[in-house]
Amino acid sequence: MEPKTILITRRLPGVPFEILSGRFRAGASPPDTAMSREEFLRRAAGAAGILCTLADRVDAVLLDAAGPGLKVVSNFAVGVNNIDIPEATRRGVRVCNTPDVLTDATADLGFALLLAAARRFSEAGRFLREGRWTGWDPWGLLGMPVAGKTLGIVGMGKIGSAAAQRARGFSMRVLYHARHPLSPERERELAASHRDLDALLSESDFVMLCVPLTVQTRGLISRERLARMKPTAVLVNIARGEVVDEGAMAEALSERRLFAAGLDVYEKEPQVHPGLLLAPSAVLLPHLGSATVEAREGMGRLATENLVAVLEGREPPCPVN
């Protein structure tokens, strides 16, 4: 029987291309950088399986290019907003993702952003490197305390829950907003109390966004909702950039209606809103949420398992549809 054709859109940690190319028809080695849209469409033709990243848009056009033999799209990410799930489902294409293995890495990064923004680490680092530090100053670069403050978590899935667990080490009061509230037992375990979104924003000293990007969450943190936050509050986004009105957030920082922001994701990645680049109180990272060796290699192994399972007629470990 002729081997099935697969497409791996770029070289990825934990994805053994050499082994896969011995079992499937895999073509040329995947590039080190993101594949262009044109190349993606061309190389998808005739593929039975695609292993891609969140930078690769899998829409009706791509599915048409792949053809009716496509069986599975395995995403090297937990989020699947780059894939048209209803269209893939309509065509009988399984979609899989890589949850769990990146939970701790992303929650760690969220808390790192929270601390860095609260204590003005980016601003202080620039101050020192530019040679402006002349010695200890009792008024210098005063930040916001973290211990004992209120953390509001928007989206209480695995990453949000992991963030709540970390908050306990800082004796923080934890509020959360989720479409489906946790069970009373789980709320007690996490010491977390449910709030509607507007109440959470107005009560919290720190707000951490952990929601997936959906029709409902796109633009969730609007100009009006930013206005509900305390002027001393810190906003942390480890979800997706499109969850926040980036221009409104930049204005709030510039006008000091928001103390600081810690951001790992952006509306139009890799572009960053110019107002955020100019904001001293914005801590900006280049989408590093899962960027540890263990997490990325785990994602690669899981994405590979998903791909192979479907192509061999087995149920994948992490199906989305």
Average pLDDT, the chain: 97
Q: What percent of the chain has pLDDT over 70?
A: 100
Distance CA 303, CA 295 (A): 12
Instruction: Output the pLDDT for position 288.
Output: 97
pLDDT band of 264, cuts 50, 70, 90: very high
Distance CA 115, CA 117 (A): 6
* 6-100+294-311: CATH architecture: 3-Layer(aba) Sandwich (3.40)
* pLDDT tens digit sequence for 111-138: 999 999 999 999 999 999 999 999 999 9
Question: Is-catalytic flag, 287?
Answer: yes
| C-beta separation of 30 from 16 below 8 A | no
* pLDDT tens digit sequence for 33-85: 999 999 999 999 999 999 999 999 999 999 999 999 999 999 999 999 999 99
Provide the residue ranges of all domains of the chain, joining segments of one domain with +. 6-100+294-311, 103-284
Beta-sheet pairing, 282-284 with 49-52: unpaired
* pLDDT tens digit sequence for 55-67: 999 999 999 999 9
Q: Choose the catalytic residue: 287, 294, 301, 305.
A: 287
* pLDDT tens digit sequence for 127-181: 999 999 999 999 999 999 999 999 999 999 999 999 999 999 999 999 999 999 9
pLDDT band of 2, cuts 50, 70, 90: confident
Tokens linked to 61: 């056009």
Tokens linked to 80: 């699947």
Q: Choose the catalytic residue: 195, 240, 273, 296.
A: 240
Long-range contacts of 213-220, Cβ-Cβ distance < 8 Å, separation of 24 or more: 213/79, 213/81, 213/239, 213/240, 213/242, 213/243, 214/81, 216/179, 217/155, 217/243, 218/242, 218/243, 219/243, 219/244, 219/245, 220/154, 220/244
pLDDT band of 1, cuts 50, 70, 90: confident
Phi/psi at 236 (5° precision): -120, 130
Regarding pTM above 0.75, the answer is: yes
| C-beta separation of 10 from 34 below 8 A | yes
Question: Is-catalytic flag, 269?
Answer: yes
| Closest listed residue to residue 270, CA positions, set 292, 286, 252 | 286
Q: Do domains 6-100+294-311 and 103-284 have the same CATH topology?
A: yes
Please, which residues have CB within 8 angstroms of residue 7's CB and are 6 or more apart in sequence?
26, 27, 43, 44, 47, 49, 50, 51, 52
Amino acid at 137: D
Instruction: Output the pLDDT for position 28.
Output: 87
Structural fold of domain 103-284: Rossmann fold (3.40.50)
Q: Choose the catalytic residue: 87, 187, 251, 269.
A: 269
Amino acid at 195: R
Question: Is-catalytic flag, 10?
Answer: no
Tokens linked to 5: 């054709």
Tokens linked to 138: 């009792």
Stretch 303-316: mean pLDDT: 98
| C-beta separation of 172 from 144 below 8 A | no
* pLDDT tens digit sequence for 211-251: 999 999 999 999 999 999 999 999 999 999 999 999 999 99
